[in-house]
């Protein structure tokens, strides 16, 4: 595999270790800081609001300058955000501040890293490399739940967060080691940096962008709340001492990575839009029922979480690859920016809405409240095939 692909995938995964640090220990923080579910949803979601606010500018810039420089800056901001959380977070407002900084850091990492990869590759290998890069997001998620969730219980959450900050610094040096590259661009990119009108007019690409937004709502509801859900579902089951909620979340992220690559491979072999649409139908339908597993034996709820984590990710890499491949020449960075802006705006509102629903339905103290909250995100996922169908006009692949 190309050295640049390996370097960027590894750097991305390392920089993401701190991204899900708060969700990995959400029940602990909720108890220690006496947070409501709505407040916990804010802390989980503000990370993605920071991302959404800054990603349009940072990713659009990659059509004009080498994206690796933006990635390096993003990794530095990520280290500041997670390191600051470890040192200074003491409650709702300080946690919000440093989670916001971490989200801004991710805005300089994820899509700029993808553009750095695209600029360094040519030909038929590009689509598969994009799939590996987007699947590496799940690798970072897995590492986040594994290291933060498991280490946090053993060495304290501050030390675990500090190690995540060091991982982001290592990602910075990896990205800096990439050879310089002039971005692929066209004369038309000399217009206003945030002029997304040409992308909105590209209906085939926009179908994938809007489908990605519905996918991201469901995905980040699951990732932000799955540990808290499993803590509720386990009750006093002694199996939970071995099969801990954070370990289950790690397995779900591992399953997600494999399913993301599987979906990407199926999209290369068959009609991409149809594969993505059916994947959304499967995950959305599963989401309508997932919350009910809290009333089953804990091992079944854990198994359902792993399966659901995989189903949600079946379309992830395929959606992003579809949007990038259908982008207009010289507009790949701007298309990735809008794709990420709408996707991570949904990633912000999803966990927040989930927490608010739990509070409205009794604070998450009943299976019914978890069932309806997860079912709501399943309904959002089922809107994705509609967006894909709308974008079919003039689409290829």
Confidence band for 187, pLDDT divided at 50, 70 and 90: very low
The confidence score (pLDDT) of residue 290 equals: 95
Phi, psi (degrees; rounded to nearest 5) at 328: -65, 150
The confidence score (pLDDT) of residue 193 equals: 55
The confidence score (pLDDT) of residue 186 equals: 47
Confidence band for 396, pLDDT divided at 50, 70 and 90: very low
Rounded percentage of the chain residues whose pLDDT exceeds 70:
93
Confidence band for 117, pLDDT divided at 50, 70 and 90: confident
Q: Which residue has the higher pLDDT, 192 or 13?
A: 13
Cα separation, 334 vs 328, in Å, equals 10
The confidence score (pLDDT) of residue 340 equals: 81
Confidence band for 397, pLDDT divided at 50, 70 and 90: very low
The confidence score (pLDDT) of residue 192 equals: 54
Average pLDDT over residues 246-269: 87
Q: Which residue has the higher pLDDT, 197 or 251?
A: 251
Q: Does the pLDDT at position 66 exceed 80?
A: yes
Average pLDDT over residues 117-144: 79
Q: Are 54 and 193 in contact (CB under 8 A)?
A: no
Average pLDDT over residues 155-176: 93
Q: Does the pLDDT at position 240 exceed 80?
A: no
Residue-averaged pLDDT of the chain: 86
Q: Are 264 and 319 in contact (CB under 8 A)?
A: no
The confidence score (pLDDT) of residue 89 equals: 92
Catalogue all structural domains in the chain, each as residue range(s) with its CATH number: 3-178+202-390 (1.20.1250.20)
Q: What DSSP letter does each residue of 295-344 carry, written as one string?
A: GS-HHHHHHHHHHHHHHHHTTHHHHHHHHHHTSPTT-HHHHHHHHHHHHH
The confidence score (pLDDT) of residue 196 equals: 66
Average pLDDT over residues 293-308: 94
Closest CA to 165 of 76, 54, 39, 69: 76
Alpha helices by DSSP H, listed for the chain, are 3-15, 21-24, 26-32, 37-60, 67-88, 92-107, 110-119, 125-143, 151-155, 157-176, 197-201, 203-234, 245-269, 272-290, 298-313, 316-325, 332-360, 367-381, 384-390
Cα separation, 290 vs 304, in Å, equals 7
pLDDT tens sequence across 367-377: 999 999 999 99
Q: Which residue has the higher pLDDT, 310 or 1?
A: 310
Average pLDDT over residues 50-76: 87
Place of tokens 């169908």: 389
Average pLDDT over residues 322-340: 75
Q: Are 381 and 85 in contact (CB under 8 A)?
A: no
Q: How many residues does the chain have?
A: 397
Q: What DSSP letter does each residue of 337-383 carry, written as one string?
A: HHHHHHHHHHHHHHHHHHHHHHHHTTSS-SHHHHHHHHHHHHHHHTT
């Amino acid at each position: 595999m190309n050295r640049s692909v390996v370097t960027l995938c590894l750097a991305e995964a390392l920089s993401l270790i701190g991204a899900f640090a708060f969700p990995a220990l959400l029940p602990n923080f909720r108890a220690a800081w006496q947070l409501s579910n709505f407040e916990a949803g804010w802390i989980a979601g503000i990370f993605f609001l920071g991302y959404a606010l800054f990603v349009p500018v940072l990713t659009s810039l990659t059509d004009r300058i080498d994206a690796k420089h933006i990635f390096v800056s993003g990794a530095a901001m990520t280290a500041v955000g997670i390191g600051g959380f470890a040192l200074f977070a003491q409650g709702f407002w300080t946690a919000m501040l440093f989670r916001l900084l971490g989200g801004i850091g991710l805005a300089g990492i994820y899509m700029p890293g993808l553009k750095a990869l695209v600029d360094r590759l040519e030909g038929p290998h590009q689509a598969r490399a994009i799939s590996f890069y987007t699947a590496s997001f799940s690798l970072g998620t897995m590492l986040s739940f594994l290291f933060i969730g498991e280490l946090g219980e053993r060495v304290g959450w501050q030390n675990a967060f500090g190690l995540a900050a060091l991982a982001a610094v290592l990602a910075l040096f990896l990205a800096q080691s990439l050879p310089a590259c002039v971005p692929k661009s066209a004369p038309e990119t000399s217009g206003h940096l945030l002029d997304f009108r040409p992308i909105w007019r590209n209906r085939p690409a926009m179908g994938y962008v809007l489908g990605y937004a519905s996918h991201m709502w469901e995905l980040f509801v699951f990732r932000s709340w799955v540990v808290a859900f499993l803590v509720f579902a386990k009750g006093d089951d002694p199996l939970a001492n071995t099969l801990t909620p954070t370990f289950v979340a790690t397995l779900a992220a591992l399953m997600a990575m494999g399913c993301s690559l599987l979906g990407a491979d199926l999209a290369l072999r068959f009609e991409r839009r149809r594969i993505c649409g059916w994947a959304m139908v499967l995950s959305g339908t599963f989401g309508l029922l997932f919350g009910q597993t809290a009333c089953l034996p804990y091992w079944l709820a854990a198994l359902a979480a792993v399966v659901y984590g995989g189903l949600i990710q079946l379309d992830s890499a395929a959606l992003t690859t579809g949007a990038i491949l259908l982008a207009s020449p010289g507009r790949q960075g701007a298309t990735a920016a809008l794709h990420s802006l709408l996707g991570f705006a949904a990633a912000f509102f999803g966990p927040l809405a989930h927490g608010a629903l739990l509070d409205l339905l009794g604070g998450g103290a009943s299976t019914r409240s978890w069932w309806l909250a997860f079912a709501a995100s399943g309904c959002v996922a089922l809107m994705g095939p509609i967006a894909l169908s709308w974008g079919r006009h003039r689409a290829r692949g």
